[in-house]
C-alpha cells in the first residue's frame, strides 16, 4: 500500500517530438521556390564535408527510395539520381529554426528543451514537460494529436510520444514506425520491449557489438544479468536502460526560452478582435505584476505573444523609462499597439512575459505631491512617444568635457537612461548650463555663411542664410573657444562665438573661425539655434 506522500506526488509526464526530415523541410520552406519548381527535381539531399569528402547527411523520402542513403558520397548520390537538389548543411540556420519551433511549443508549456544529441545529422527533437497542463487541452491524447496536427498543417513532419521518462519518450517517438503513442504511467517496459537497441541512445559501435552476441531487442537485453553485461560492455548500457525504465533518474533542463515572469492563457475558441486581446491582457498583467512584487522587482520591458492557429507567433513589445508596477500605464502603452495590429488569423494562446526587469526603488511620498506628479507625467510622456515612434524618437542631452561644441554633447535614449540622468548631479548642472549659454539644436556640421556684414568692432550686423537676408538687432559676444590642442590638425584654428537676435526675435549662434596669427583668413559659420 502506497503512503500518503506517494499518493500526493505528481507523476512527471514528458512529450518528445521528433522531426525526422528537419533540415530537408527547412530548406523546402525557404529555398526551393528560389531554386526550382516542384516538377524540376526528383529529390533533396543535404551534404557536408567530412574528412575531405562531401557526404550526404540527410535525404528526403523520395531520394531515399531511389537509393540515395545517408553516408553516400555526393558523386554516388548524383550518379543514382542526377536531378537531385543539393544543399550545403547550415548548422546555424538549423539551430535558429529549431529554437523558433521550441518557442512555438511554448503554447503548450513553458518547460521546453531542445534535444542536442543528433545535432548536425539532419533531424531534430524537442522535449516538452507537460506535467499538470495536459488537462488544458482535453487530456494527453488530445494534446498530442493537437500538436501533431498543427505541425502537419504548417508543413513539418513530426512524430511524438508521451511517457514518464525522457528516454522512453525519445525511443518510442523515433522507433515506433511513424505512429504517435501515449505510454501509460509505469508502462515503459512494455512499450520498449520490441524496440531495437538503438532506441536506448547507445553508440553505433556498442549496438554492433551487442548484435554480434545475438542481442538486438531491448527485451533480450532485459534478460541478461547485469554483472556480465557491465564487465564486457561497460556500465553505459544498463544506465541507459534504467533511465528509460525510470529506475535511474534523468533530468531534462528546460531552455531559457522564457523568463520566469510569464503568464499564459489557453483559449477554448480562437479570437480575432483587438478588444478581446485587451481583455486578456488585463487578465494576465496582474499575474505578472504579482510575481514581480514578491521579489521587489518592476517592469522594464514586456512582451505579449499571440499564438495563431496557422502556427505563427506575433509579438508586441513595450518598454518603460522607469521601473514600473503601474498596470494602468502599461495597459495604455499596449492599447495603441493592439489597435494598430491587424489580426488576419485567429489566436488561441496568449502569453505575457516580463523580458526585462529591475529592482524597483520606492520613492518618498511628498506632502505636496507636485514634484512626484511632474516626474510621473514626464516618464509617461517619454514612454508614450517612444513606444509609438521608436526608441530613437526621444533623447536626453548633456555635456561632456570637450572644448569643441560639436564634440561636447552627449545624446542618450530617454527610455533607457531617464533614471540615471535624473540622479546625476553633473548631468543636471550640464543641462542648466546648456539651457543658459548653448543652443538646444546644433547644426552639424556648422553651415558656412557666404555673405555677412561686420561692423568695425568685428561684430556681425546682418548675414545671408539660405537665400534669406537676416537683419541683426542684438549681439552678445564674442566668446572665444580655443582649439583642442591634442587634435594636431586643428591646433591653429580659433573660434569667436556670438549669440545674435534678428528683428523677428529669432536667435542664432554664429562663430568666426580664423588662424590666430592671421585674422584675414577667417570664415563665418552658423552653428546653432536657440529656443
pLDDT (tens digit, 9 = 90+) per residue, 289-310? 998 888 888 888 899 988 887 7
For 221, the 3-state DSSP assignment is helix
104/225 same-domain check: no
What pLDDT does residue 258 have?
A: 64
Pairing label, strands 14-19, 124-129: antiparallel
What pLDDT does residue 256 have?
A: 58
Question: H-helix or E-strand containing 319?
Answer: strand 313-324
What pLDDT does residue 235 have?
A: 86
Mean pLDDT of 40-67: 82
Q: Is 484 within a domain?
A: yes
198/302 same-domain check: no
What pLDDT does residue 522 have?
A: 80
231/310 same-domain check: no
End-to-end CA, the chain: 85
97/157 same-domain check: yes
C-alpha–C-alpha distance, residues 70 and 179, integer Å? 23
Alpha helices (H) along 37-139: 61-65, 74-80, 91-104
30/154 same-domain check: yes
430/480 same-domain check: no
For 399, the 3-state DSSP assignment is strand
Whats the size of the chain, residue-wise?
Answer: 531
Q: Is 523 within a domain?
A: yes
Query: Dihedrals φ, ψ of 491, to 5°?
Result: -65, -25
Mean pLDDT of 488-508: 82
Mean pLDDT of 380-385: 68
174/213 same-domain check: no
What pLDDT does residue 119 have?
A: 66
Q: Is 143 within a domain?
A: yes
**Between helices 204-212 and 226-233, what is the axis angle to 10°?**
120
417/336 same-domain check: no
Q: Is 56 within a domain?
A: no
Q: Is 461 within a domain?
A: yes
pLDDT (tens digit, 9 = 90+) per residue, 182-210? 999 989 999 999 999 999 988 888 888 88
How many domains does one find in the chain?
5
Residue 517 binned pLDDT confidence (cut-offs 50, 70, 90): low
Residue 9 has pLDDT above 60, yes or no: no
What pLDDT does residue 61 have?
A: 85
Residue 498 binned pLDDT confidence (cut-offs 50, 70, 90): very high
Pairing label, strands 112-115, 159-163: unpaired
Lowest model confidence (mean pLDDT) among 20-24, 65-69, 185-189, 437-441: 437-441
Most confident of 3-17, 88-102, 419-433: 88-102
What pLDDT does residue 319 have?
A: 84
100/162 same-domain check: yes
What pLDDT does residue 383 have?
A: 66
Query: Dihedrals φ, ψ of 213, to 5°?
Result: -100, 15
For residues 140 and 31, the answer to whether their CB atoms sit within 8 Å is no
Residue with the bigger pLDDT between 286 and 378: it is 286
For residue 424 the three cell numbers come to 546625476
Burial environment of residue 481 by CB neighbours within 10 A (0 to 12, 13 to 18, 19 or more): middle
Query: For residue 340, is it left (φ>0), alpha (ψ between -120 and 50) or beta?
Result: alpha
- 498, β-bridge pairs: 510
User: CA 241 → CA 187, 220, 236, distances in Å?
Assistant: 14, 12, 9
Q: Is 370 within a domain?
A: no
151/30 same-domain check: yes
Q: What angle do CA 123, 128, 133 make, to 5 degrees?
A: 155
C-alpha–C-alpha distance, residues 405 and 7, integer Å? 75
Domain, as residue range, for 502: 441-529
Quote the mean pLDDT of the chain: 80
What pLDDT does residue 3 have?
A: 47
Q: Is 54 within a domain?
A: no
Residue 401 binned pLDDT confidence (cut-offs 50, 70, 90): low
The enclosing domain of 151 has a CATH number of 3.30.70.270
C-alpha–C-alpha distance, residues 6 and 1, integer Å? 10
31/144 same-domain check: yes
DSSP class of 298:
E
pLDDT (tens digit, 9 = 90+) per residue, 208-257? 888 888 888 999 888 888 888 888 888 888 899 999 998 888 888 777 56
Proportion of the chain above pLDDT 70, given as a percent = 78
C-alpha–C-alpha distance, residues 202 and 117, integer Å? 11
DSSP class of 503:
T
32/145 same-domain check: yes
What pLDDT does residue 367 have?
A: 47
Residue 166 binned pLDDT confidence (cut-offs 50, 70, 90): very high
For 231, the 3-state DSSP assignment is helix
Residue 80 binned pLDDT confidence (cut-offs 50, 70, 90): confident
Lowest model confidence (mean pLDDT) among 2-16, 117-131, 423-437, 463-477: 423-437
DSSP class of 424:
-
What pLDDT does residue 404 have?
A: 74
Lowest model confidence (mean pLDDT) among 77-81, 142-146, 306-310: 306-310
Closest CA to 417 of 391, 442, 440, 381: 391
For residue 53, cis peptide bond before it (omega within 30 degrees of 0): no
Residue 8 binned pLDDT confidence (cut-offs 50, 70, 90): very low
Pairing label, strands 181-182, 159-163: parallel
Q: Is 369 within a domain?
A: no
C-alpha–C-alpha distance, residues 189 and 167, integer Å? 11
Q: Which of 158, 182, 206 is the last residue of a domain?
A: 182
Closest CA to 289 of 265, 263, 257: 263
Which DSSP string do the residues of 432-477 spell out, in sequence order? Answer: HHHHHHS-SEEEEEEEEPSEEEE-TTS-EEEEEETTEEEEEEEEEE
Interacting residues of 508 by C-beta distance below 8 A, sequence separation 6+: 470, 499, 500, 501, 502, 526, 528, 529, 530
Residue 163 has pLDDT above 90, yes or no: yes
Amino acid at each position: 500500500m502506497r503512503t500518503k506522500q506517494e499518493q500526493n506526488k505528481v507523476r512527471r509526464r514528458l512529450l518528445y517530438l521528433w522531426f525526422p526530415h528537419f533540415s530537408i523541410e527547412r530548406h523546402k520552406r525557404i529555398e526551393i521556390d528560389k531554386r526550382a519548381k516542384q516538377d524540376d527535381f526528383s529529390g533533396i539531399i543535404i551534404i557536408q564535408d567530412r574528412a575531405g569528402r562531401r557526404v550526404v547527411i540527410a535525404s528526403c523520402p523520395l531520394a531515399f527510395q531511389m537509393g540515395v542513403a545517408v553516408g553516400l558520397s555526393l558523386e554516388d548520390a548524383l550518379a543514382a539520381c542526377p536531378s537531385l537538389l543539393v544543399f550545403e548543411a547550415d548548422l546555424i540556420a538549423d539551430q535558429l529554426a529549431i529554437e523558433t519551433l521550441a518557442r512555438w511549443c511554448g503554447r503548450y508549456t513553458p518547460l521546453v528543451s531542445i534535444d542536442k544529441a543528433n545535432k548536425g545529422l539532419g533531424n531534430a527533437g524537442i522535449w516538452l514537460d507537460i506535467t499538470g497542463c495536459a488537462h488544458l487541452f482535453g487530456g494527453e491524447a488530445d494534446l498530442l494529436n493537437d500538436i501533431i496536427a498543427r505541425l502537419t498543417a504548417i508543413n513539418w513532419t513530426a512524430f511524438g510520444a508521451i511517457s514518464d521518462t525522457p528516454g522512453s519518450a525519445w525511443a518510442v517517438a523515433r522507433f515506433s514506425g511513424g505512429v504517435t503513442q501515449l505510454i501509460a504511467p509505469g508502462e515503459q517496459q512494455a512499450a520498449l520491449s520490441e524496440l531495437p537497441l538503438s532506441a536506448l541512445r547507445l553508440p553505433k559501435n556498442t549496438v554492433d557489438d551487442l548484435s554480434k552476441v545475438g542481442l538486438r531487442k531491448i527485451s533480450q537485453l532485459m534478460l541478461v544479468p547485469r554483472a556480465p553485461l557491465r564487465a564486457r560492455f561497460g556500465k553505459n548500457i544498463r544506465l541507459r536502460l534504467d533511465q528509460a525504465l525510470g529506475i535511474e533518474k534523468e533530468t531534462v533542463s528546460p531552455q531559457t526560452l522564457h523568463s520566469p515572469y510569464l503568464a499564459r492563457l489557453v483559449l477554448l475558441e480562437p479570437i480575432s478582435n483587438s478588444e478581446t486581446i485587451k481583455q486578456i491582457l488585463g487578465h494576465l498583467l496582474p499575474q505578472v505584476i504579482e510575481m514581480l512584487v514578491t521579489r521587489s522587482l518592476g517592469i522594464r520591458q514586456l512582451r505579449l505573444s499571440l499564438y495563431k492557429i496557422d502556427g505563427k507567433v506575433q509579438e508586441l513589445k513595450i518598454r518603460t523609462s522607469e521601473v514600473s508596477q503601474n498596470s494602468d500605464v502599461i495597459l495604455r502603452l499596449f492599447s495603441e499597439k493592439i489597435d494598430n495590429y491587424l489580426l488576419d488569423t485567429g489566436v488561441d494562446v496568449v502569453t505575457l512575459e516580463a523580458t526585462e526587469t529591475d529592482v524597483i526603488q520606492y520613492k518618498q511620498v511628498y506632502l505636496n505631491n507636485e514634484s512626484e506628479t511632474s516626474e510621473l507625467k514626464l516618464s509617461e510622456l517619454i514612454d508614450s512617444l517612444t513606444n509609438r515612434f521608436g526608441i530613437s524618437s526621444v533623447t536626453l542631452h548633456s555635456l561632456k568635457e570637450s572644448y569643441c561644441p560639436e564634440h561636447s554633447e552627449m545624446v542618450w535614449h530617454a527610455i533607457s537612461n531617464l533614471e540615471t540622468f535624473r540622479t546625476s548631479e553633473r548631468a543636471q548642472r550640464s543641462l542648466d548650463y546648456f539651457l543658459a549659454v548653448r543652443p538646444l539644436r546644433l547644426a552639424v556640421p556648422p553651415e558656412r555663411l557666404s555673405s555677412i556684414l561686420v561692423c568695425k568692432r568685428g561684430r556681425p550686423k546682418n548675414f545671408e542664410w539660405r537665400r534669406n537676408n537676416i537683419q541683426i538687432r542684438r549681439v552678445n559676444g564674442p566668446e572665444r573657444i580655443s582649439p583642442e590642442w591634442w587634435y594636431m590638425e586643428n591646433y591653429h584654428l580659433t573660434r569667436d562665438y556670438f549669440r545674435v537676435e534678428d528683428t523677428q526675435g529669432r536667435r542664432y549662434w554664429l562663430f568666426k573661425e580664423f588662424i590666430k596669427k592671421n585674422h584675414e583668413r577667417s570664415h563665418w559659420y552658423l552653428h546653432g539655434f536657440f529656443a
